[in-house]
Structure 1
Amino acid sequence: MKRITALGSALTLALGVAVALTGQAEAQVKFGVAGPLTGSNAAFGAQLKNGFEQAIADINEAGGIQGQKITTAVGDDVGDPKQGVSVANKFSAEGVKFVIGHFNSGVTMPTSEIYQENGILAITPASTNPRVTERGMWNIFRVCGRDDQQGAVAAAYILKHAKDKKIAIVHDKTTYGQGLADETRKAINAGGVKEVLYEGINIGDKDFSALVSKIKASGADMVYWGGLHTEGGLLVRQMRDQGVKAVLFGADGITSDEFAAIGGPGVEGTLMTFAPDPRKRPEAKAVIEKFRAKKFEPEAYTLYSYAAVQVIKQAADAAKSLDPKKVADQIKSGQKFNTVIGELSFDKKGDVTRPDYVVYVWKKGADGKITYEELPPNMQGS
């Protein structure tokens, strides 16, 4: 009897250990990050991925989220909506509950619908098209601003400093690029400025000689560019090669030092709208040091990606839940979130309540490197 009792006790103990280990194995929640990790927009994909991974590492090191460690999944959408849908389906099948991404507005919109169907909450660090949050969905948020806000800031600058100049408008026909160009166009038209040229190019185009000839013939003093850094850099380079001195005016889609690498010396003087540089915020100092120790410069959307993870963590803690719908309700509750890009709160659509775009200029620094620098207040548009 003693032997049987001992055996029974051993089995009971083993079963108890197995249950405990199973409980530990289940005490995990899965986050995903998705963006263009390869292709022409890979610089932005790297920003999203690095910001995400550092935030997850910091949260896990501090004990996790609601008592659970975070596991991760990574998806490369190559900036293509079809690839994005494949990533979204993969995340759904793998049990991902929260997604940071995507980068391109045209990818974020179809993927967010899949996430909604599967009960997944998504926060995009970078998709600025207004329709991203205008579709009445419970699960989609952004920590960046919107193109109607960004276009208004660009237009205010043009109306204040270049109202008597000839303005050409060029876009890349994407949800983001054309949407941004159209918002800016609408705002300058309302201010009494009519563009001398309105043209679209295709993503992936490399030869803009015909377009540059049209810009030259129009006599444009400024070219407003709705698009990303690769085509924008090539456009500037070819404008300068053909003797066109018109200033390029871009937006957050060219916020990468690769823009200058592609465009060459002719990018000096390029104007650009983006949020005030989050790298200058005191609350970001410690995190920035971690990135730089890894030889990664956290420009543009890196800290936005980090902040998106912080929002989910703080909302989950406040809701005392990892149910994505309960976390989404908490984000929309008016709670203020302390992040590396400053204090954030959200409206019922999922937009941040602080519109904060400013104008930058690309210029050569003392080290000879051409990069972007915020214009002083008296040189802004308002």
Structure 2
Amino acid sequence: MNAQKNGCPGADRGVRHMPIRAITAALALLVGLAPGSVQSQGTTIKIGVPVPLSGSSANAGTDIVNGAKLAAARINAAGGVLGKQIELVPEDDACDAQTAVQAAQKLVDAGVVAVAGGYCSSAALPESTTFHRAGIPYVLDASTNPQLTEMGYDNVFRTIGRDDQQGPFAASFMKDVLHAKRAAVIDDNTTYSKGLAQNTVEALKKNGVDVVYANSITPGQMDYSPTLTRVASLKPDVIYYTGYFSEAGLMVKEARQLGLKMTLMGGDATNDPTLMKTAGPAADGMIITTAPLAQFLSGAHSYVDDYTKAYGQGPGPYSVYEYDAVGVTAKAIADAKSVQPSAITAALHKMSGYPGATGTIGFNAKGDRNKAVYITIIVHNDKFEPYRRQDAEGHWAAMK
């Protein structure tokens, strides 16, 4: 989907730009497989995709599965891996820890040799323990809590950055670009949200910004105006919300209805287009810290085109990172010349220079992506636009 070689068997430059009808045909074959019908003949390689397919984050999970399908369809159209086709096995973890354990065990029982997925860190953490016990590699595409790669599990990797990278990035933006003196940080008490909030608060304090408010809301409520009124009374220059897009949209709408004029910001779980549908015109001017979206990545132009043709709309924020998670997993299987999970894990640890749609991918000793990038985007006229980035020296520059 991008212009670079994938590195999987037969996946040359021409395959990456194959007509969408070829991808669609391969995709139809991929998703039309009856459960276990081909696996029993030993002609497929099963890769699990645990994501929320129900609840408030279901659209994010569906978007991730769509990215996985495009990756698998491309690989399969190019001949598959080790002479076999990739078969995806999506499983609903509902962004819930207990459901996640059940989903992970279902994938283990289904015979997956690797897993590429994850969204909410609160689900990914128990999933990673289940996959570790089973010895199955888990390549995360969206879960950013640092603990995921700090538990000493050698089978956990990710194609995205970490909250202890995003937090200092957000704090630097508030201080050096917004010139904020006073900041409020609100989380939703989930694993991901609290982790990002804590890392941001620590970095703000180190930067000399006065944190006038740092507390949690309860997700799923219909009215956050009491919290917003309390925060407004403390006169912050910026409010940074580290929870998910469903609550963020409502909070932004209510903040503007209350007449709050300070800068409103969100973390990388607010970067879903649903934000604008919920908040309406009130979202205009909201700034979000995030890994680069597919439409802002030079290597993902073909991916965006193919996604749009296949699904009738542009990709959400994490499908391209899932696309690369499936791609790098397939490359590890090819490098290992084996479908044994332990061999795939070893190959992932050796991975360097994989030319993904999101850029070059390699992993450090903990399994984190080398050179993870964060940017800021801004809502303008009901869409996300690139805003500011940091160069290698930490200087801020406008994005085009």
- How far apart, in 2, do the equivalents of 1:22 and 1:152 lie? 48
Alignment correspondent of 1:60: 76
The structure-2 alpha-carbon separation of the partners of 1:376 and 1:357, relative to structure 1 and needing over 3 Å to count, comes to: closer
1:48 aligns with 2:64: yes
Q: Deviations over 1:247-271 (max 9, x none)?
A: 2111210111111111121111111
TM-score (norm 1): 0.89
SS at match of 1:195: strand
- How far apart, in 2, do the equivalents of 1:216 and 1:47 lie? 35
1:357 aligns with 2:374: yes
1:341 aligns with 2:358: yes
Alignment correspondent of 1:195: 211
CA contact (8 A) 1:163 1:193 kept: no
- How far apart, in 2, do the equivalents of 1:189 and 1:52 lie? 40
- Given candidates 357, 376, 388, the residue that maps to 1:375 is 388
Alignment correspondent of 1:237: 253
The structure-2 alpha-carbon separation of the partners of 1:282 and 1:220, relative to structure 1 and needing over 3 Å to count, comes to: closer
Unaligned segments of structure 2, at least 5 residues: 1-36, 391-395
Alignment correspondent of 1:313: 330
CA contact (8 A) 1:122 1:141 kept: yes
- How far apart, in 2, do the equivalents of 1:139 and 1:244 lie? 46
CA contact (8 A) 1:97 1:119 kept: no
Q: How does 1:1-382 map to 2 (within 5 A)?
A: 25-294=41-310, 295-364=312-381, 369-375=382-388, 378-379=396-397
SS at match of 2:123: helix
Letter in 1 for 2:374: Y
SS at match of 1:375: strand
SS at match of 1:352: coil
Residue 281 of structure 1 deviates from its aligned partner by 3.6
Letter in 1 for 2:328: V
Aligned-residue RMSD, C-alpha: 2.0
CA contact (8 A) 2:175 2:181 kept: no
CA contact (8 A) 1:315 1:331 kept: yes
SS at match of 1:331: helix
- How far apart, in 1, do the equivalents of 2:186 and 2:86 lie? 43
- How far apart, in 2, do the equivalents of 1:277 and 1:329 lie? 30
Letter in 1 for 2:346: D
Residue 278 of structure 1 deviates from its aligned partner by 3.2
% same residue = 31
SS at match of 1:214: helix
SS at match of 1:88: helix
SS at match of 1:233: helix
Letter in 2 for 1:252: D
CA contact (8 A) 2:267 2:289 kept: yes
CA contact (8 A) 2:116 2:329 kept: no
SS at match of 1:55: helix
Give the count of matched residue pairs: 357
Residue 180 of structure 1 deviates from its aligned partner by 0.3
- How far apart, in 1, do the equivalents of 2:172 and 2:54 lie? 35
- How far apart, in 1, do the equivalents of 2:39 and 2:65 lie? 29
CA contact (8 A) 2:136 2:341 kept: yes
- How far apart, in 2, do the equivalents of 1:340 and 1:311 lie? 11
- How far apart, in 2, do the equivalents of 1:109 and 1:233 lie? 26
Larger Rg: 1
CA contact (8 A) 1:100 1:305 kept: yes
CA contact (8 A) 2:142 2:160 kept: yes
Q: Deviations over 1:37-82 (max 9, x none)?
A: 1211122112211001111111111111111112221111121111
- How far apart, in 2, do the equivalents of 1:33 and 1:23 lie? 16
- How far apart, in 1, do the equivalents of 2:38 and 2:233 lie? 71
Residue 93 of structure 1 deviates from its aligned partner by 1.2
Letter in 1 for 2:215: E
